[in-house]
Amino acid sequence: MGPAKCLYDRRSRMRYGIIFLVLGGALAALAVVAWPGAGMLCAWPGLSFAVLGAAYLARRPSWLGKRADGTLVGWAYVLLGPYLALTWILWRVEQLITREPAADEIVPGLLRRSRDLTRGLLAKNGPPPALAEACTDRALS
């Protein structure tokens, strides 16, 4: 049985693509204006977010180095470093401020979870008999 398919509507993809393209373009413009000082710090995130936005709009996860199983190839970690760092920071902040449980039981023995960041159910009890991953991290797949 392969990875679960996620319904990902066109409007959301377009919104994310446009937001990341605009952010990438703004950072790239700032990099050009402020070069060589602060511009050097803006060039890499600008490229990262612009590539991410273009991949969302074109619906091409391979542009981001995504394999069929959802993992990333090595060069993608370098290219997407600023985006991955931002995402990781936001997950951690959400984990600190949210009161939601780490997992929800859909039916007895079947849990749905989005991320389990060390404080949740899996860290305390180990994996349950069946676990359904949410599709939030596989939206481009």
pTM for this entry? 0.61
Give the pLDDT confidence score for residue 127 in this predicted structure: 52
With b for 16 or more beta-carbon neighbours within 10 A and e for fewer, the 77-104 pattern comes to: eebbebbeeeeeeeeeeebeeeeeebbe
- The answer to whether the CB of 80 falls within 8 A of the CB of 48 is yes
Specify whether 88 is located in the same domain as 109.
no
Chunked into runs of 10 residues, the chain (141 residues) has average pLDDT values of 52 84 89 81 89 89 85 90 90 78 76 60 51 44 41
Is residue 1 in some structural domain? no
72 and 136 in a single domain? The answer is no
The answer to whether position 2 is within a domain reads no
Domain residues for the domain of 44 are 7-98
Give the pLDDT score at 117: 53
State the pLDDT at residue 135.
42
| Domain co-membership, 104 together with 94 | no
Q: Are residues 75 and 108 in the same domain?
A: no
- Return the pLDDT at 75: 92
What local confidence, expressed as pLDDT, does residue 30 receive? 86
Our count of domains for the chain comes to 2
Q: Is residue 72 part of a domain?
A: yes
- Could you tell me if 69 and 58 are in contact, meaning their C-beta atoms sit under 8 angstroms apart? no
Same domain, 91 and 113: no
